């Protein structure tokens, strides 16, 4: 089945990715992938690192003449900042004791990772656990989107809230149509990728305040998939459920702390008569007037827009020493150290969430209609669609 592996560190030479079991005959659009990579680096509140890097995908295998070949796809995304870290990140040079880090940042992988692997330098944890790794996942998701476009499946994402500014989580509903042309334009014109312009300036002011205070901000993200056929996923086993896979994909993104499908938590407060989406038939097909289920029932897609909302916590690297920690070597009380970071990366994370959703949809699409090449998959899909 479709799978991918990533490797690389935040300040290493770059990121390497392998995609396995991707079909042959898919025309790859490099510009589309690089645009997604650009969006991942953009957004109000990003740090100095984004001024150094200009991410571009470099295919190493699996693509020839612009088409996928059916063999494993591998690609490289260069870290330009490696030149500034060459001495500290060299594969064989010894690491001077004075450059080692022993004080873990609360909220980061530093503490558990160092203890788990028995490491005496936290940099060996933070380099891999960094959100820099998500550049690989955005490229994977973009490749999945390119494939799924052949079947009329579209994806979109947006930021609903930053630090309490915007659509409140308790009031959120999944009926925000990210494919509406006005919303699409607003998101594209927004430095924060917000669908409603009236929230933009207030959210920017909040980010500016956090920057002044040396603090960070999280937020609420939504991503949607439109045109997904009925029946992706299954009810037959726990690990075959589409929503379970989506939740895992999104929850694995750095700093994501909750994932909802459809109205999510709000469903606990609704009556059954107002929660579930009535089914109608007309115009040659089945349809719903509401989408509280977020396009998934019983672990399977039901033909409606698949809607995912997730919460991103504030970045755990703060510009001022607010957080208490402990030196892992001496057990002395310390203040959490400063590592170059962002004030707010929620807009960038929305692109990563969209990519994670695209991978999950692609995974189950290929499982349902699988074949070795695009032409075979199209035949399988068309035979199912005619039922």
CA dist 274 and 293 (Å) reads: 11
CB-neighbour burial class of residue 137 (10 A; exposed 0-12, middle 13-18, buried 19+): buried
Contact call for residues 312 and 221 (beta carbons, < 8 A)? yes
Q: What is the pLDDT of residues 116-128, one digit of tens each?
A: 999 999 999 999 9
Going by pLDDT thresholds of 50, 70 and 90, the confidence category of residue 167 is: confident
pLDDT score at 172: 57
Mean pLDDT of the chain, nearest integer = 94
Domain ranges of the chain: 3-385
User: What pLDDT sits at residue 338?
Assistant: 74
Residue 226 pairs in a beta bridge with 154
Task: Report the candidate in 75, 95, 91 with the shortest Cα–Cα distance to residue 22.
Answer: 75
pLDDT over 70 at 212, yes or no: yes
pTM of the full structure: 0.95
Of 96, 86, 93, 92, the closest CA to residue 120 belongs to 96
What's the pLDDT tens digit per position in 331-384? 999 999 776 679 999 999 999 999 999 999 999 999 999 899 999 999 999 999
Coil, strand or helix at 203: helix
pLDDT band for position 171 (50/70/90)?
low
- DSSP single-letter state for residue 75: E
**For residue 183, what are its two tokens?**
């919303």
Report the distance separating Cα 351 and Cα 137, nearest Å: 10
- What whole-number percentage of the chain has pLDDT above 90? 88
C-alpha 170, offset from chain centre:
23
Mean pLDDT for the stretch of residues 81-103: 91
Span of 44-48, 137-141, 151-155, 171-175 with lowest mean pLDDT: 171-175
Exposed, middle or buried: residue 229 (CB in 10 Å: 0-12, 13-18, 19+)?
Answer: middle
Q: Name the phi and psi angles at 289, rounded to 5.
A: -90, -20
327 CB-near residues (< 8 Å, 6+ apart):
102, 103, 334
b/e for 310-331, b at 16 or more Cβ within 10 A? Answer: bbbebbbbbbeeebebeebeee
Q: Mean per-residue pLDDT for 120-142?
A: 96
Residue 52: the pLDDT is: 61
* pLDDT, tens digit (0-9, with 9 covering 90-100), for 282-330: 988 999 999 999 999 999 999 999 999 999 999 999 988 899 999 999 9
Superfamily, domain 3-385: Chorismate synthase AroC (3.60.150.10)
pLDDT band at 256 (very low <50, low <70, confident <90, very high): very high
The model's confidence at residue 87, banded by pLDDT at 50, 70 and 90, is confident
Q: Over the stretch 286-298, which tens digit does the pLDDT of each residue have?
A: 999 999 999 999 9
């Amino acid at each position: 089945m479709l799978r991918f592996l990533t490797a690389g560190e935040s300040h290493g030479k770059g990121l390497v990715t392998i995609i396995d079991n991707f079909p042959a005959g898919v025309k790859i659009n490099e510009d589309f992938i690089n645009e997604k990579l650009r969006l991942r680096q953009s957004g109000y509140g990003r740090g100095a690192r984004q001024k150094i890097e200009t991410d571009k995908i470099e295919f190493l295998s699996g693509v020839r003449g612009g088409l996928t070949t059916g063999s494993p796809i591998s690609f490289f995304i260069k870290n330009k900042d490696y030149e500034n870290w060459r001495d500290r990140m060299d594969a064989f040079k010894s690491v001077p004791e004075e450059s080692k880090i022993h004080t873990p940042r609360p909220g980061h992988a530093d503490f558990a990772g160092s203890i788990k692997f028995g490491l005496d330098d936290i940099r060996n944890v933070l380099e891999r656990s960094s959100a820099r790794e998500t550049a690989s996942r955005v490229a994977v998701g973009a490749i999945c989107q390119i494939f799924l476009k052949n079947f009329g499946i579209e994806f979109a994402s947006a930021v609903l809230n930053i630090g309490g500014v915007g659509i409140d989580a308790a009031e959120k509903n999944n009926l925000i149509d990210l494919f509406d042309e006005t919303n699409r334009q607003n998101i594209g014109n927004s430095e924060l990728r917000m669908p409603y312009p009236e929230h933009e300036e207030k959210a920017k002011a909040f980010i500016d305040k956090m920057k002044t205070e040396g603090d960070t901000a999280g937020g609420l993200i939504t991503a949607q998939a439109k045109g997904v056929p009925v029946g992706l996923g299954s009810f037959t086993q726990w690990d075959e459920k589409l929503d379970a896979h989506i939740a895992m994909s999104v929850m694995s993104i750095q700093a994501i702390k909750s994932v909802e499908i459809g109205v999510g938590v709000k469903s606990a407060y609704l009556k059954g008569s107002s929660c579930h989406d009535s089914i109608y038939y007309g115009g040659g097909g089945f349809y719903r007037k509401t989408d509280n289920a977020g396009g998934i029932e019983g672990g399977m897609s039901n033909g409606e827009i698949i809607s995912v909302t997730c919460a991103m916590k504030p970045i755990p690297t703060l510009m001022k020493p607010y957080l208490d920690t402990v030196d892992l070597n001496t057990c002395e009380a310390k203040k959490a150290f400063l590592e170059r970071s962002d004030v707010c990366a929620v807009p960038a994370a929305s692109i990563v969430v969209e990519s994670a959703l695209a991978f999950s949809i692609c995974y189950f699409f290929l499982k349902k209609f699988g074949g070795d090449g695009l032409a075979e998959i199209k035949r399988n899909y068309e035979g199912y669609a005619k039922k």
